[in-house]
Amino acid sequence: MEKKILFPQLGGLMHGGDYNPEQWLDRPDILKEDIRLMKEAGMNCATLGVFAWSTYEPREGEFHFEWLKDIMDRLYENGIYTILATPSGARPAWLDEKYPESMRVDSYGVRAHHGVRHNHCMSAPIYREKVSVIINKMIDEVGSHPGLLMWHISNEFGGECFCPHCVARFQNYLAEKFDHDIDKLNHDWWTVFWSHNYNDFSQIEPPYNNGESSIMGLNLEWKRFTTWSMNDYMKSEIAILRERTPEIPITTNFMKLYDGLDYRIMAKELDVISWDSYPRFHNDEESFSDTLAENAFDHAVMRSMKKNQPFMLMESAPGLVNWHGYNKMKRPGVHKLASLQAVALGSDTVQYFQWRKGRGSSEQYHGAVLDHLGTSNTRVFREVAEVGRDLKKLSDVCGTIIKSKVAVIFDWDTMWAIEDMRGMAQETKNYPKTCIATYRNLMELGVDVDVIACEDSFADYKVIVAPMLYMLKPQIADRLKSFVNDGGQLLATYVTGYVDENQLNFLGGFPGDGLKDLFGVISEELDTLYPADCNQVNFVDGLTGQVHDYAEVLRIADAETLGTYQDDYYAGTPAVTKKVYGKGNAYYVAARLDDAAMKHLFAQMLTNADVAMRRLPKGVECHTRQSDNQCYTFYLNCTQETQTVEDVHGTDLLTGTVINGVLTMDKYQVVVLA
Ligand code: GLA
Ligand code: ZN
């Protein structure tokens, strides 16, 4: 594959961040200093205007763009490009005062008052109109500016709106989805239960807090509708930009596995995926390397949405954030580690929120490259500048991608369905956590792992793990069967294939929709364990694995038993099975097993598939980016101790050190070999 360079103008990786000059227009000295210091920090990009509407248009129809042009000019003259946001993330007071229907209605049906941000109604026509006016004005003023690199749509889309307009759209959406046939909806939502049948689509209310919350299909469809509606809103902004500035790429910033929107649907409208990463570094619940592993998973989710090109780390905190429960400073060295972890996992940018701390309001103490002291003589600034220098050394990495043979399936619909499902334990369902642990266990075997949707193509993969794939949407079961039949290694777990896309249970045995033939098992019972309960799986090859939280009782049709339960009324019955299906293998793991046992199974699958593993110390990550004729291997010491990795050969691009055999890494150290 050819390199896919997102921004040829930059001549390498991007180093940038959110910049809010509108907060400092009365301080020309500071604005001047900003540019000097950005250069000192090795920045080549700034994200402007994320919340600048009231400065662009302080009163309806009165526009001020001179300051923006001036800043963009000066940045550009100094080699700093602009990512320009559309300002719809927050509204000026005059707008809400005059057009209150722009403000959201909450889940009790109460209209919000003016304030805060990220809270416009997605369907109010007047809001769309006002946004269209300001975007068109922006394009008139700076749409052809040579420094304009990219559009950043609004900011961190999220939330729901229960206003009459949105409710009417929801009803239309449902009518279309169910072919205007209310009986079809009643059937698929099982509304006869508790006498909840509808006679007409106009009777359907969204899941108000003080209203209907017992219909799983309704709850799920409301989530899907909210994604549809947000996407529809986003498309209304994108349409203007595509028409008037077709050559400028478009992104919006995502937030990890944000539960309110299925990002994969929105991703289709964007040219580049970008996201905001704020791990809780050094927390007291998990190891430091676990925090980084979760961050790696999040990067992989983002990367895999457009896996043939790099993604962007749009925001990260240079020092601390101000919204975690405890806002601990990143320890010396962690900034570089986290920044280069993003690059290792396929990002071509390292960007920050924020360039300079404001003097007031709710983010005054949020980390920034420049704090209130205002000079480059700070630890945080020095660490940022060091990242700037490192990114220059890694210029050639730009445009390379990760080619994984291994994928974990993470499905937004399944996340929503499992959250709402009653019958497991609310505190231990942990679908996202289970997917993250799966990813980490595979990563620790030294392979790169994509995180994909069940609708994505399986063609590039030899090994697929689908933890807790509770919902099987149409065709997914058949596609999984073909994957295995053609030689794939597939592993599924407890609570696979219980429901269809409306959350109606499959009849005739779980895993449903034909998967019981693929795995050769039927899951007869799901046992939920109390936190203090445990069981054990004894594998035929001598290994033992600990069971927590969930254990299914299986009936075997035609699968080989790899391990059996040790205790309880199902002692001696199968817990882990394997079935040869066509040219591949289908593994079923009926219980929540410990990491070591899962890794043991994954290693078997990787061996079957001829995917090379690497022996790595716990907490050392290894990722590889490549193009036709280049290959970069990143080693990241995500622990607080010195670590050694064997069988490493090459020259570290960051330090010039030649490694011939054993690589010794200081805590947090990153090494990149070409
Ligand atoms: C988000 C937002 C930013 C800022 C940061 C603070 O990512 O996009 O505007 O509020 O959080 O962490
Ligand atoms: Zn609304």
In this structure, the number of other CB atoms found within 10 A of the CB of residue 329 comes to 14
The encoded tokens of residue 432 equal 């996202």
- Encoded tokens for 430: 């942990």
How many angstroms does the Cα of residue 353 sit away from the middle of ligand 1? 6
- Active centre residues (catalytic): 156, 315
Contact predicate 577/511, CB 8 Å: no
Q: Where are the alpha helices (DSSP H) in 467-583?
A: 476-485, 515-519
Minimum-distance ligand to the CA of 161? 2
Ligand approaching nearest to the C-alpha of 109: 2
Rounded distance from Cα 354 to ligand 1 centre (Å): 8
Best residue among 155, 302, 327, 353 to mutate for probing ligand 1's pocket (most ligand atoms within 8 Å of CB) is: 353
Please give the number of the atom of ligand 1 that sits closest to the Cα of 155: 8
Pocket of ligand 1 (CB under 6 A): 155-156, 253, 276, 278, 315, 321, 323, 353, 363, 366
Instruction: Calculate mean pLDDT across residues 131-146.
Output: 98
- Please give the pLDDT value at position 567: 98
Nearest-atom number in ligand 1 for the CA of 253 is: 8
| Rg (the chain; Cα; Å) | 26
302 Cα–ligand 2 center, Å? 28
| Rounded distance from Cα 125 to ligand 2 centre (Å) | 10
Mean pLDDT of 462-478: 98
- State the residue for tokens 């478009």: 250
- Determine the average pLDDT of the residues in 56-83: 98
Q: Using an 8 Å Cβ cutoff, are 616 and 622 in contact?
A: yes
Q: Give the residue, out of 156, 321, 364, with the most ligand 1 atoms within 8 A of its beta carbon, to mutate for a pocket test.
A: 156
Residue pLDDT, tens place only, 203-235: 999 999 999 999 999 999 999 999 999 999 999
496 three-state secondary structure: coil
**Mean pLDDT across the chain, nearest whole number?**
98
State yes or no: pLDDT of 112 exceeds 90: yes
In the reported structure, the alpha carbon of residue 155 is separated from the centroid of ligand 1 by a whole-number distance in angstroms of 8
Q: Whole-angstrom Cα distance, residue 393 to residue 386?
A: 11
Q: Which of 53, 315, 362, 366 to mutate to test the pocket of ligand 1 (most atoms within 8 A of CB)?
A: 315
For ligand 1, what atom is nearest to the CA of residue 315?
7
Q: How far apart are CA 186 and CA 190, in angstroms?
A: 6
- Supply the residue whose CA is at minimum distance from atom 12 of ligand 1: 321
Report the pLDDT value the prediction gives residue 497, as an integer from 0 to 100.
98
Quick one: average pLDDT of 283-292? 97
Give the count of beta carbons closer than 10 Å to the beta carbon of residue 449.
27
Closest ligand to residue 156's CA = 1
Those residues whose C-beta lies under 8 Å from the C-beta of residue 141, and which sit 6 or more positions away, are 65, 68, 69
pLDDT beyond 90 at 36:
yes
Average pLDDT over residues 74-101: 98
pTM attached to this predicted model: 0.98
Closest atom, ligand 1, to C-alpha of 255: 7
Euclidean distance between CA atoms 207 and 222, whole angstroms? 7
Handedness of CA 268, 274, 280, 281 (dihedral sign): positive
Which atom of ligand 1 lies at the shortest distance from residue 51's CA?
A: 9
Q: Predicted confidence band at 472 (pLDDT cuts at 50, 70, 90)?
A: very high
Q: How far is the CA of 229 from the centre of ligand 2 (A)?
A: 9
Cβ distance 663 to 619 under 8 Å? no
What average pLDDT does this structure show over 28-33?
98
Cα dihedral sign, 373-375-377-382: positive
Question: Omega before 511 cis (within 30°)?
Answer: yes
Task: Report yes or no: 275 and 350 within 8 Å, Cβ to Cβ.
Answer: no
- What are the strands of the beta sheet with 631-637, ordered from one edge? 620-626, 631-637, 670-673
Q: What is the reported pLDDT for 1?
A: 83
Three-class SS of 587-611: EEECEEECHHHHHHHHHHHHHHCCC
Q: Identify the residue whose C-alpha is closest to ligand 1 atom 7.
A: 276
- Using left for φ > 0, alpha for ψ between -120 and 50, and beta otherwise, residue 568 falls in left
d(CA 485, CA 50) in angstroms, rounded, equals 49
Ion ligand 2: residues, CB < 5 A: 121, 161, 163, 165-166
Q: How far is the CA of 416 from the centre of ligand 1 (A)?
A: 25
E strands within 180-299?
250-251, 253-254, 274-276
Contacts of 48 (CB under 8 A, 6+ apart): 19, 21, 68, 71, 72, 82, 83, 84, 85
Res. 84: pLDDT tops 90: yes
How far is the C-alpha of 633 from the C-alpha of 194, rounded, in Å?
A: 58
- pLDDT in the model for residue 66: 98
Instruction: Round to whole Å and give the CA distance between 18 and 353.
Output: 5
